[in-house]
Chains A and B, each alone.
Chain A
Amino acid sequence: MRHHEEEVMGTIVTFDLFDERGFHETAVADAFADAAAVLHHIDEVFSTWKPQSPISRLRRGELSESQVPGELQEVLDRCRGVKAMTLGWFDPWSMPGGVDPTGYVKGWAAQRALTVLEKLGARGAIVNAAGDVAVSGSPFDTAPFTVGVVNPFDTSKMACVVRVDSAIATSGDYERGDHLIDPFTGRHATRFASATVCGPDLGLADALATALVVGGDELLRIVEGLDGYEAFAVRPDRSWTITSEFALASEVAF
């Protein structure tokens, strides 16, 4: 198993490779470097903390959407789709300071990095970007990946373990920050203590998890109706709900 940490996008993104056959060290180093480069490139385009990034210039009105790089246009288009899918509960355009697709970009970036790592051909690979996790292959011979979900009432503990075959994202009211905003009132709001979404597109899972925390039960119905996506939501009173095919691999405990 090989582990790498990359400081990028204002957080630390980890890469893990699994293969019982061992690794060719140069190939591993190259794979890590290439995956890290993808993340740094994305950061240059999408970081709202970099004053001269295309997203910052778009937010200031210096650039119009047709003038920004193609990948930013692509992400904004995807975000429009997610906004429609979530009936407006995920809305990057309702963020203070201008359009902010960060809630989609983190997961989207992690999966792009994973695509690079996959080229190494190891048995399994994981990219974890601040709790947004994308996986490929498996860690051991036949077992799937299993991922712990943080307990929203005590973030030093796990609430449960989940089988993951593509991606998992979690959002929670324990996140400090202004991105948990109810687009319909413009105010900070959380209806669930935390929400976890599994599915093939980590950007979408990321956005759905955030929308769930803000929007509550209505989003559960939406995810239930979305093929390939499953959710686990925890209420402030410690009751919890899962969509019927959520792949729990343990008891749930707070």
Chain B
Amino acid sequence: MKRAIIFSSATAAGLAGVLTFHTAPVSLTVGGLVTGGSGASNSGGGGSSTTTSSAPPPTTTTPSTTSTVRSKKSSSPSSTSTSTTTTAPPATTTTIAATGTRTVTGEAVNYYFGILSVTVTATGKKITKVTIGQLTDGGNYRSQQIDGMSIPLLEQEAMQAQNAQIQSISGASYTSAGFQMSLQSALKKLGI
């Protein structure tokens, strides 16, 4: 015994501001996701992982923001790695005068299915845009399937950080080793 479907129209204009997300300044250690170098013959097969921790939230009845701190991980060719964790606030380590808007493209990475590069735009120390600058896959069906990179993990985490009321995000998304490598190189160029 099922009920009627509810139809509704969006009232986008008035409510858009409620869920707008602004990129937060980020101390980037995205490079923690180290992969086995370019041209890896197996995609996504590595076991690289990072573990981060933060102090438990104060005991209250209302949800509170928890911070996750990414830790730098030592580069290693093996699939296991160690990581250090810290509860201190992330330190920003910019090495250039971070003013103005700059757009930088990370190195082109030869990943299993083709060539990929990531373009990053930053204003000051704030990353404002992350997109795929180049993607060639030779028309390979399989590579097309993994090219559905719509939400970099970075953006997802920034979204979550902006909204203390949610614990996760559901949306078609994909990140790959190649994306992370090119992203890391772009961030290095930006000095972020």
Structural contact, B168 and A8, CB atoms closer than 8 A: no
CB neighbours of A245 from chain B (8 A): 3
Given contacts A147-B166, A155-B150, contact A6 B49 (CB under 8 A): yes
Which stretch, B17-25, B118-126, B183-191, touches the partner chain A?
A: B17-25
- Closest-CB distance, B90 to chain A (whole angstroms): 14
Bound CA span A11–B33, Å: 11
By a CB distance below 8 angstroms, the chain B residues around A43 are 44-45
Q: Which residues on A sit within 8 Å (CB–CB) of B145?
A: 102, 177-179
Question: Which residues of A, 144-172, contact B by the 8 Å Cβ criterion?
Answer: 145-151, 155-162, 168-172
Q: Does A175 contact B (CB under 8 A)?
A: yes
**Is A90 close to B, CB under 8 A?**
no
In the complex, whether A80 has a CB less than 8 A from a CB of chain B is: no
CA distance A2 to B71 in the complex (A): 13
Name the prevailing secondary structure of the A interface residues. Answer: mixed
| Interface residue? B95 (CB, 8 A) | no
Residues of A within 8 A of B146 (CB): 10, 49, 177
Q: Which of A19-27, A60-68, A69-77, A81-89 contacts B (4 or more CB under 8 A)?
A: A19-27
Report if A240 contacts B (CB, 8 A). yes
Is B44 touching A8 in the complex (CB atoms < 8 A)?
yes
Chain A residues positioned under 8 Å from B57 (CB to CB):
1, 20, 140
Which of A142, A177, A220 has a CB less than 8 Å from the CB of B5? A220
Q: CA–CA, A102 to B174, complex, Å?
A: 14
| Cβ–Cβ contact A177 & B147, under 8 A | yes
Q: Are the C-beta atoms of A254 and B7 separated by less than 8 Å?
A: no
Task: Say yes or no: B9 contacts A239, CB within 8 Å.
Answer: yes
Query: Nearest chain-B residue to A9 (Cβ)?
Result: B44
A201 at the binding interface (Cβ < 8 Å): no
Let me know if A40 is at the binding interface, CB within 8 A: yes
**B159-189 contacts to A (CB < 8 Å):** 159-160, 163, 165-177
B153 proximal to A (CB < 8 A): yes
- Residues on B lying within 8 angstroms of A by beta carbon are 2-12, 15-16, 18-21, 32-33, 35, 42-54, 56-57, 59, 61, 63, 66, 68, 112, 141-142, 144-151, 153, 155, 159-160, 163, 165-177
> Which residues of A does B touch, CB under 8 Å?
1-12, 14, 16, 18-23, 28-29, 32, 36, 40, 43, 47-50, 96-97, 102, 126, 128, 130-133, 135, 139-143, 145-151, 155-162, 168-172, 174-179, 194, 196, 220-221, 224-225, 238-245, 250-254
Given A7-B48, A224-B5, 15 additional A-B pairs, CB 8 A: A1-B57, A2-B51, A6-B47, A11-B173, A18-B167, A49-B44, A97-B142, A130-B173, A133-B170, A155-B155, A172-B171, A176-B147, A176-B148, A178-B145, A194-B172
26 A-B residue pairs with Cβ-Cβ distance under 8 Å, sorted by A, are: A4-B52, A7-B33, A10-B176, A11-B174, A20-B57, A20-B59, A97-B141, A128-B169, A130-B173, A130-B175, A131-B172, A139-B63, A145-B167, A149-B170, A150-B169, A158-B21, A158-B159, A161-B165, A174-B150, A176-B148, A239-B10, A241-B7, A242-B5, A251-B18, A253-B11, A253-B18
